[in-house]
Amino acid sequence: MIWAQARSLRDPGGGSVRGGVGAWPVSADVQTGRFGQNLCSELRSSATETAWLARLLSDWLQQTGEMSSVKVESVVKEHAQIGEGPVWEESEQTLLFVDIAGQKIHRWNSATNQIQSLQTADTVGFAVPRRSGGYVAGVGCSIVAVDWSTQKVTSLASVEDDKPENRLNDGKADPMGRLLAGTMRRDAQTAQVKPGSLYLMKSDLSVTKLLGQVDISNGMDWTADLKTLFYIDSLAMSVDAFDYDSASGKLGNRRVVYRLAEGEGVPDGMTLDANGRLWVACYDGGRVLNIDPATGKRLQTVSLPATKTTSCCFGGPDYSDLYVTSASLGLDQSELQKQPQAGNTFRVTGLGVKGRPSNAFSG
Write phi, then psi, for 24 (nearest 5 degrees): -115, 140
DSSP assignment of 249-272: --EEEEEEEEEPPTTS-EEEEEEE
Find out whether 38 is annotated in a ligand binding site. Answer: no
Residue 268 assigned as binding residue: yes
d(CA 276, CA 279): 10
Paired with 297 in beta bridges are: 292
Q: Cβ contacts of residue 163 below 8 Å, gap of 6+?
A: 141, 183, 195
CB atoms within 10 A of CB 218: 31
5, 61, 299, 300, 354 from 18: Cα distances, Å: 18, 11, 9, 6, 20
Say whether 233 counts as a known binding-site residue: no
Can you say whether the dihedral through the CA atoms of 32, 37, 42, 48 is positive or negative? positive
Is residue 204 flagged as an active site residue?
no
218 is in an annotated binding site: yes
Beta bridge partners of residue 172, listed in sequence order: 180
Please give the DSSP secondary-structure letter assigned to residue 235.
Answer: G
Are the beta carbons of 66 and 28 closer than 8 angstroms?
Answer: no
Catalytic residue, candidates 240, 268, 273, 321: 268
Specify the pairing of strand 166-173 against strand 152-158: unpaired
Q: How many residues are given for the chain?
A: 363
- 347 among the known binding-site residues? no
Binding residues for a divalent metal cation: 84, 218, 268
Binding residues for substrate: 167, 169, 187
Active site residues: 268
